[in-house]
Amino acid sequence: MERALELAALGIEADPNPRVGCVLLDPDGLLVAEGWHQGAGTPHAEAMALAIAGERARGCTAVVTLEPCNHTGRTGPCAKALVDAGVARVVFAQSDPNPMAAGGAATLRAAGIQTEPGLMADRVEALNATWNHVLRTGRPWVTWKFAGTLDGRSAAADGSSQWITGAAMRRVMNERRARCGAVVVGTGTVKADDPRLTVRDEQDEPVQRQPLRVVVGDSPVPAAARVRGRDGLYRQLPGGDATAALEALACEGIHHVWLEGGPTLAAAWWRAGVIDEVIACLAPALLGAGTAAVADLGITTIADISRLQLIDVERHGDDVALILNRPTPNCKEK
């Protein structure tokens, strides 16, 4: 299972599908074949391993990070493929939370194949944490990232904001943005900063795989705005209902949203209870005046202060990133 986890981690984190790894072992415990899911529309991990193994798969044990699927989509059901290949035993970590794909273990058992669930389930759930979240809640995991000075300013009094943090911090945050399915800002940020919202390499060129670029708000986005692009990865969603916006993104296969604000949208989503994680990138600098990182949260007394759970502290160059979670559940499981 350790090796299956390593294989699963080779998958694309932002893909609509979970990252899955599979190892086939012969009756003596020797490696026969291995596979991992390489992205939507490609063979699943089990199918890849079975294709490599061929006839050698008969009598093998399949060790898989996720319960083999029982669903026909762009590819066929892995449970049936394992039955047809003559596999004798299937060990898997996490049961599939997707009701459309679940039931693979029952199909295997009905065919006389021994199944053993639950091995290292916690680690596999952590590997696909955001995918699990969207299936259990109906909306993507939301990370709100902002850059600020020590006195809490995200822009100067004249509106300028590039750059508060240094190159090292921006490079790390760019890498994290690349692992998300969508980058979200409000219409005010588009009009003030005209951002591209793309993921770019060290030569400032766009990388091949890009997140969806989403603008939330009812104001029209200028036709010449850079966020629109020409690659079909631009969306504008109505403001006012954060949950509806997120559910719309979930329908597009998005399970991790990277919220970059501005302060009005960040405040609205915080008050709606849909922000799960905060990454505060703090520069050792002062502005004294300017725009705050977040707008009014409706808090008027210290007794109502919103306290977060500190998960980690990172230093990148001269800047510090605080990784924080909201300490209480944000929505009911469906």
Active site residues: 46
161 is in an annotated binding site: yes
Q: Is 262 assigned a ligand-binding role in the annotation?
A: yes
Q: Is 177 labelled as part of a ligand binding site? A: yes
Walk across the sheet containing 182-186 and list its strands. Answer: 234-237, 212-216, 182-186, 256-259, 141-148, 277-282, 319-325, 309-316
Q: Is 281 annotated as a binding residue?
A: no
DSSP-derived letter for residue 60 is P
Order of strands across the sheet that contains 89-94: 31-36, 21-25, 61-66, 89-94, 114-117
On whether 316 is known to bind a ligand per the annotation, the reply is no
Q: Is 8 annotated as a binding residue?
A: no
If 0-12 CB within 10 Å is exposed, 13-18 middle and 19+ buried, where does residue 317 land?
A: middle
Contact 95, 65 (CB under 8 A): no
Helix 45-53 with 78-85: angle, nearest 10 deg? 20
Please tell me whether 271 is known to bind a ligand: no
163 a known binding residue?
Answer: yes
- How many beta carbons lie within 10 A of that of residue 259, not counting itself? 28
The answer to whether 147 is a known ligand-binding residue is: yes
Is 180 marked as binding a ligand?
no
What is the DSSP secondary structure assignment for residue 294, as one 8-state letter? Answer: S
Compute, in degrees rounded to 10, the torsion defined by CA atoms 248, 249, 250, 253. Answer: 130
Q: Known binder of ligand: residue 266?
A: yes
Q: Which residues does residue 153 pair with via DSSP β-bridges, in sequence order? A: 292
| Binding site per annotation, positions for substrate | 161, 177, 197, 200, 260
| Binding site per annotation, positions for Zn(2+) | 44, 69, 78
| Binding site per annotation, positions | 44, 69, 78, 147, 161, 163, 177, 189, 193, 197, 200, 260, 262-268
